[in-house]
Amino acid sequence: MASRFGLSVALTTPFDATGRIAIPLMTAHARTCLDAGCSSVTLFGTTGEGASVGTAERQAVIDAMLAAGIRPDELVAGVLVDAVEDAAEQSRQALQRAARNILLAPPSYFKNVGDDGLFGWFAAVFTTLGPLARGVLLYNIPSVTTVRLSLDLIGRLREAYPGVVAGVKDSGGDWAYSEALLKAHGDLIILIGDERHLAPAVRIGGQGAISGMANFAAGELRTIIESGRDDSRVESFVLELLGHPVIPAVKAMVARQTGDERWLTVRPPLEPVALQERQQLGAAYDRLFATKAA
């Protein structure tokens, strides 16, 4: 039996003063997260501003990660595009380099599409990939995509592509959905994106998380995954993060932890959080994590 998926950091992406990806800083941070207890690194996800990272840039980052000694089975690649051709090409880049998984979001530009249309899109991506297709984690994040992956759709896809669909990352923040997902498809790799629901998910079969908070609190999250115990500090800090634009807030926490202000930069259309917000986040973190887990 394969080992539990564990904790994957939804790696944030640093940019230099010219707006280019600061690749050496990014690879160093990936190594830091792995050393802190993460079992893998997820590149180009939501926290990593993946929708703002181009195909050529992605290849350069993946190659740099491998050159830095990060193993292919420690890499997950997020794919957050609408065109089948683009989704297949970005997936192919990572799969040809033996990445562990692809985190594949549904198309999101066209609204109010049904399960038949979504099934057709995923099927077209898998067909275009051909023999390379494997290890796909379907990405449920309706707050961003406005698409909620139904349990029926997941069932149809896994039945039609049993060697391709490996699991689901659920970032919906809806515990009722997460619980139903685990009951219906718990033999797949079910991962939780909302850290508030991580402990209860693990207790009923969840295999871990792809987490933005792991950029700066990997140890605490790994403990939750290994023990299944609630940690009120983590739950409270998620609420603090949600009180700000989350992606730049995570980068602000990494900047604070490392002392490197390059992490504050985001790509347009995102904007960095203000100094006052950064101070509020830092104070909340200190207040919560200076205490023992409850």
d(CA 24, CA 92): 24
Which amino acid is located at 292 in the chain? K
CA distance 224 to 235: 11
Question: Helix-strand-coil percent breakdown of the chain, rounded to 5?
Answer: 50, 15, 35
What distance in Å separates the CA atoms of residue 190 and residue 197, rounded to the nearest whole number? 12
Residue 210, annotated ligand binder? yes
CA distance 124 to 130: 10
> pLDDT, tens digit, for every residue of 247-268?
999 999 999 999 999 999 999 9
Tell me what the pLDDT averaged over the chain comes to.
96
User: Are β-strands 165-170 and 136-140 bridged in parallel, bridged antiparallel, or unpaired?
Assistant: parallel
| Catalytic pick among 169, 177, 251, 285 | 169
DSSP per-residue letters across 167-183: EEEE-S--HHHHHHHHH
Residues 136/104, Cβ–Cβ less than 8 Å? yes
pTM for this prediction: 0.96
pLDDT of residue 52: 97
Query: Does residue 180 register a pLDDT over 70?
Result: yes
Of 114, 89, 113, the residue nearest 102 (C-alpha): 89
Give dist(CA 228, CA 211) in Å, integer. Answer: 16
Give me the catalytic one of 111, 139, 183, 251.
139
Question: Residue 145 carries which side chain, given as an amino acid letter?
Answer: T
Confidence of residue 1 (pLDDT cuts 50, 70, 90): very low
- Tell me the C-alpha distance between 75 and 9, whole Å: 10
Pairing mode, strands 6-10 and 75-79: unpaired
Q: What residues does 209 pair with on adjacent strands? A: 7, 192
62 carries a ligand binding annotation: no
- Look at residue 292 and tell me whether its pLDDT is greater than 70: no
200 CB burial (10 A radius; 0-12, 13-18, 19+): middle
What tens digit of pLDDT does each residue of 206-244 get?
A: 999 999 999 999 999 999 999 999 999 999 999 999 999
Segment 256-284 mean pLDDT: 96
When pLDDT is averaged across residues 178-202 and rounded to a whole number, the result is 97
Q: Is the pLDDT of residue 66 over 50?
A: yes
Specify whether 139 is catalytic: yes
Q: Give dist(CA 196, CA 153) in Å, integer.
A: 25
Q: Which CATH superfamily is 6-227 part of?
A: Aldolase class I (3.20.20.70)
Enclosing H/E stretch for 115 = helix 115-129
177 is catalytic: no
pLDDT, position 3: 74
* pLDDT tens-digit series, residues 110-145: 999 999 999 999 999 999 999 999 999 999 999 999
